């Protein structure tokens, strides 16, 4: 992907930017999963991809953030799921889609985003504590 991006001319025609990659719930670090091993491996692998892209393109003004959400309250979340998942978070609540999106935008659009480049950022209401 990075090679294709580089060959497309974006590398030389761009004034920099921000790439946001989205991991999965509890894929902020290497751990074993009983189910969905392939999915979890791919999502966990994004951490290495983000760090590699951040290192490779830092000199070109490109910042890369890898965000791992917790359970997000969406229209697909049932009341039973919501109640069960809230008990798993340190805050006792789920993050709304609007709150999650606002946090990601705040980070990505911050003038100091380069301080976060290469970081794996977990936004999960304390789920993994």
Residues designated catalytic: 39
Residue among 32, 31, 104 at smallest CA distance from 65: 104
DSSP sequence for the chain: -HHHHHHTTHHHH---EEEEEE--TT-SS----SS-HHHHHHHHHHHHHHHHHHHHHGGGTEEEEEEEE--EE-TT--HHHHHHHHHHSSSSSPEEHHHHHHHHHHHHT-TTGGGTTTEEEEESTTTT-
């Amino acid at each position: 992907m990075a090679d294709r991006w580089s060959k497309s001319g974006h590398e030389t025609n761009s004034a920099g930017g921000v790439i946001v990659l989205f991991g999965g719930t509890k894929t902020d670090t290497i751990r074993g999963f009983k189910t969905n091993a392939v999915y979890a491996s791919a999502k966990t692998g994004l951490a290495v991809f983000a760090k590699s892209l951040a290192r490779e393109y830092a000199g070109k003004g490109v910042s890369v953030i890898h965000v791992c959400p917790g359970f997000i309250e969406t229209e697909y979340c049932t009341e039973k799921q919501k109640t069960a998942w809230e008990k798993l978070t340190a805050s006792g609540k789920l993050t709304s889609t609007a709150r999650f999106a606002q946090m990601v935008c705040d980070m990505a659009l911050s003038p100091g985003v380069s301080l976060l480049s290469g970081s794996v950022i977990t936004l999960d209401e304390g789920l993994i504590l």
